[in-house]
Amino acid sequence: MDSVGRVYLVGAGPGDPDLLTVKALRLLSEADVVVYDRLVSEEILALVPDGVSRIFVGKAAGNHVLPQDEINHIIVKLALGGHVVVRLKGGDPFIFGRGGEEALHLAEHGIEFEVVPGITAAVACAAYAGIPVTHRGLASGVQLVAGHCRGKTPLELDWRALAHRELTLIFYMGLANLSEIRAGLMGAGRPGATPVAVVADGTKPSQRRLITTLDRAPEDVAACGIAPPAVVIIGDVVMLSAKLDWFVPNAEIAAPIARYGHG
């Protein structure tokens, strides 16, 4: 291969293969190599044609298969080798997916790239739990928030701004810091009775959903044994899930407390 290849930064969505975009599906069929993350579901990987190389570069909290710099190096090297590369990321590449960092690295090396948006976990998990992230009279805005920092660094967030009652908050990767999130929001005036939903494995047959309140959220999450990947949704719109919960996962999951549901 003599010419430089091209890289597609592709959002794989939240896990349900039916939520993959048409363009993403087409690019998987045209790729020479797929470089994928931990949150890309097995059902979506099954759509990659036989003969297409796959490279796993997944990361979990505190456990990186490869550091970001090395991932950047891999996709550049593949493109310089003339390959068509699909860099497949869970959710959306530009929403807590570090797609911006990879795009900048490609641009610095003169490699052509495209960004293919995906359905992000915030929107998908909320929808599959029967929660509209905005709703007239309940929430006039939504804020997506990173719920963790490097190492054990405390969260540096503007808690006062986040405490506005008509703002729906959706925390990514926030389970480990849920007590800190509670303290920050309640300390800034958000009521302890504010509804909270925790959605794990959203959109998948194994989806688990907990409906609780801000003052009880850390204890209820621990009691239910909910583990990442999960999003935490905070705001009055969570109350609508009682009427709008439409998704029935295939998995049978025990409910250790009354407020814990399958959907």
Q: pLDDT tens digits for 62-97?
A: 555 689 999 999 999 999 999 999 999 999 999 999
- Point out the catalytic residue in the list 16, 37, 201, 236: 37
59 catalytically annotated:
yes
Domain range for 157 is: 121-261
Structurally, the chain folds into a number of domains equal to 2
Among 116, 136, 166, give the residue marking a domain's end: 116
CA distance 110 to 104: 10
- Determine the Cα angle at 251 with ends 249 and 257, to 5°: 90
| pTM (2 d.p.) | 0.90
Claim to verify: residue 248 and residue 132 sit in the same structural domain: yes
Ramachandran angles phi, psi of 202, nearest 5°: -55, 140
Interacting residues of 220 by C-beta distance below 8 A, sequence separation 6+: 210, 212, 257, 259, 260
Q: What is the pLDDT of residue 254?
A: 34
Claim to verify: residue 249 and residue 129 sit in the same structural domain: yes
Asked if residue 18 is part of any domain, the answer here is yes
Claim to verify: residue 186 and residue 88 sit in the same structural domain: no
> What is the DSSP secondary structure assignment for residue 13, as one 8-state letter?
B
CA distance 72 to 93: 14
144 bridge partner residues: 170
Helix (H) or strand (E) holding 33: strand 33-36
Asked if residue 1 is part of any domain, the answer here is no
Among 58, 93, 116, give the residue marking a domain's end: 116
Q: What is the pLDDT of residue 72?
A: 97
User: What is the DSSP pairing of strand 260-261 with strand 208-213?
Assistant: antiparallel
pLDDT > 90: percent of the chain: 86
Poorest-pLDDT segment among 71-85, 205-219, 245-259? 245-259
Q: Which residue has the tokens 């998704």?
A: 247
CATH number for the domain spanning 136: value is 3.30.950.10
Helices marked H in 56-149: 68-80, 99-108, 121-128
- Point out the catalytic residue in the list 23, 32, 59, 245: 59
Claim to verify: residue 175 and residue 245 sit in the same structural domain: yes
Claim to verify: residue 112 and residue 133 sit in the same structural domain: no
Claim to verify: residue 164 and residue 231 sit in the same structural domain: yes
Claim to verify: residue 112 and residue 209 sit in the same structural domain: no
Claim to verify: residue 80 and residue 203 sit in the same structural domain: no
243 catalytically annotated:
no
What ranges make up the beta strands (E) of 66-202?
Answer: 84-89, 113-116, 141-146, 167-172, 195-200
Structure confidence by residue, pLDDT tens digits, 148-187: 876 567 899 999 999 999 999 999 999 999 999 999 999 9
pLDDT > 70: percent of the chain: 90
Structure confidence by residue, pLDDT tens digits, 11-67: 999 999 999 999 999 999 999 999 999 999 999 999 999 999 999 998 665 555 689
Say yes or no to pLDDT of 252 above 60: no
If we measure between CA atoms, which residue out of 225, 221, 154, 141 comes closest to residue 184? 154
What does the block give as tokens for 103? 């795009």
